[in-house]
């Protein structure tokens, strides 16, 4: 629930992650200011949230009045200046260091002194993002997992200058959102993707080299390792372009060949086969007949 110091959450980016964070924050009782530079993106996000809340009401997961209350807490922001009223800001735009750095520089000038600026980045350096601001001690990573309303984990990432108070405030916020926070240090991929992406990459190599079919590889990991989803299906869900980007960050950040992206992954991204969001990846999301 909101506290005396944290009542309004600003969210920049109304895509899949941003709208999920907005929904969770509104359901937890926070006022939410949601902005996206793409025209119509916020309206689309609000419709998506409304549909999701309606389905929860139909299933009996939430009461009708809870849906109405959450909707009332969501406010579209026409520009970044609206974030001046926020007590805490979460950035959830494209995974691009230059774009994020520019946004953090702008937010630093818009937001009140003392307001924490958090990034939902899954792999980029929090320390480098913080260097774009005049408040590096107040910059932190807050890596939510997709889909945000379902997955309980939030990976909190401390940059080189992130203060202990910023870490504790962010941890408290994550708990208020109903999430379990885990602290990671600012190394490429943090904890989650440093462990996950090499597994996905190795599964792609196994497919590429003909060790097994896509179904066999995914079945081994689901039934043998008790994973809820096989690594190839998971890569499709994450987005193959996102997987490739994170692996490239790991490869360049550590200089270790074990993070080298599989050539098959590069080829599929070049072909526009990005997974669920493009309708085709290792699986075809119409007939599921593509792949090897």
pLDDT tens digits for range 235-258: 999 999 999 999 999 999 999 999
The percentage of the chain sitting over the pLDDT mark of 90, rounded to a whole number, equals 95
Per-residue pLDDT of 124-170, as tens digits, reads 999 999 999 999 999 999 999 989 999 999 999 999 999 999 999 99
- What's the mean pLDDT in 247-271? 97
Per-residue pLDDT of 166-220, as tens digits, reads 999 999 999 999 999 999 999 999 999 999 999 999 999 999 999 999 999 999 9
Residue 292 has a pLDDT of 35
- Token pair listed for 241: 């372009």
The tally of CA atoms less than 13 A away on the side-chain side of residue 206 is 18
The percentage of the chain sitting over the pLDDT mark of 70, rounded to a whole number, equals 98
Residues with Cβ within 8 Å of residue 50, at least 6 apart in sequence: 71
Residues with a known catalytic role: 122, 143, 155, 193
Q: What is the pTM of this model?
A: 0.91
- Residue 4 predicted with pLDDT over 90: no
- Beta strands 74-76 and 8-12, pairing class: unpaired
SS3 91: strand
Residues with Cβ within 8 Å of residue 65, at least 6 apart in sequence: none
Residue 5 has a pLDDT of 87
């Amino acid at each position: 629930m909101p506290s005396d110091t944290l009542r309004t959450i600003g969210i920049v980016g109304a895509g899949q992650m941003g709208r999920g964070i907005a929904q969770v924050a509104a359901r937890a009782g926070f006022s939410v200011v949601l902005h996206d530079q793409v025209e119509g993106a916020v309206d689309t996000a609000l419709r998506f949230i409304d549909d999701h809340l309606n389905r929860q009401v139909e299933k009996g997961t939430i009461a009708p009045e809870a849906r109405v209350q959450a909707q009332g807490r969501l406010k579209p922001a026409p520009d970044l200046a609206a974030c001046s009223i926020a007590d805490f800001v979460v950035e959830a735009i494209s995974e691009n260091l230059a774009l994020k750095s520019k946004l953090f520089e702008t937010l630093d000038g818009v937001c009140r002194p003392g307001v924490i600026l958090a990034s939902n980045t899954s792999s980029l350096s929090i320390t480098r993002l913080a260097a774009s601001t005049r408040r590096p001690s107040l910059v932190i990573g807050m890596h939510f997992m997709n889909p945000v309303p379902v997955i309980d984990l939030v990976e909190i990432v401390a940059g080189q200058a992130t203060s202990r108070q910023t870490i504790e405030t962010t941890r408290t916020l994550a708990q208020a959102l109903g999430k379990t926070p885990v602290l990671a240090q600012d190394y490429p991929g943090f904890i989650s993707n440093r462990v996950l992406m090499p597994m996905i990459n190795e599964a792609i190599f196994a497919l590429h080299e003909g060790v097994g079919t896509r179904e066999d590889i995914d079945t081994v990991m689901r039934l043998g390792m008790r994973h809820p989803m096989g690594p190839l299906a998971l890569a499709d869900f994450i987005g193959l372009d996102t997987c490739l980007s994170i692996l490239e960050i790991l490869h360049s950040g550590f200089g270790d060949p074990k993070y080298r992206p599989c050539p098959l992954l590069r080829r599929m991204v070049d072909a526009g086969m990005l997974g669920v969001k493009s309708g085709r990846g290792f699986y075809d999301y119409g007939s599921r007949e593509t792949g090897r």
